[in-house]
Amino acid sequence: MTRWRAVGVGVALAACSEAVVFGVTGRATLIGGLAGSALTGYVAGDDPADGAWHGLLTAMAWGIVLIPGLVALSVVADAPLPFPIEFLLPLLDTAGEATALLLLSASLPNLASGALGSLTRRRDDGSQSGGGATDRSGRSRSGSDAEET
């Protein structure tokens, strides 16, 4: 089930961090989306698959806002493409390669970032419970069986 509040929190962080980076450097990056996806994964829960899914949703929701803004900036202010796309695009030969690069750079890093956010949440939850964390099979990470309480 999708946790839309987590996605909203991630998009808000992406927007704020991109605004700060743009205000300081005058350049657009994809870093805000990664930070937003990581926070979304953290807020969504401790399952890496959920974190990856919610990170991807954050990337797509943020992209709906970011892409038209970047197009407007490039037309009005002659702004460059976002980092790292501006350095990779000249290396490509066809429109298909450029499309694949754009789609993969907008999705895969955010999937990984969301999953890492969820893994961070799992680690934080395990350390707050006194270090006696167990894996899904009911065995402690040290190898012995977990005690039932």
| Rounded Cα distance, 142 and 76, in Å | 59
Contacts of 93 (CB under 8 A, 6+ apart): none
What are 94-103's pLDDT values in tens digits? 989 988 888 8
Q: Average pLDDT over the chain, rounded to whole?
A: 82
Q: Is the per-residue pLDDT at 64 higher than 50?
A: yes
Q: Which pLDDT does position 132 carry in this prediction?
A: 52
Q: Among candidates 64, 101, 66, which has minimal Cα distance to 86?
A: 101
Q: Name the pLDDT band for 52 (thresholds 50, 70, 90).
A: very high
Q: Which pLDDT does position 144 carry in this prediction?
A: 45
What are 81-135's pLDDT values in tens digits? 777 777 888 888 998 998 888 888 888 889 999 999 999 999 988 877 765 555 5
* Stronger pLDDT, 139 or 18, i.e. the higher one: 18
Q: Name the pLDDT band for 54 (thresholds 50, 70, 90).
A: very high
CB 62 within 8 A of CB 53: no
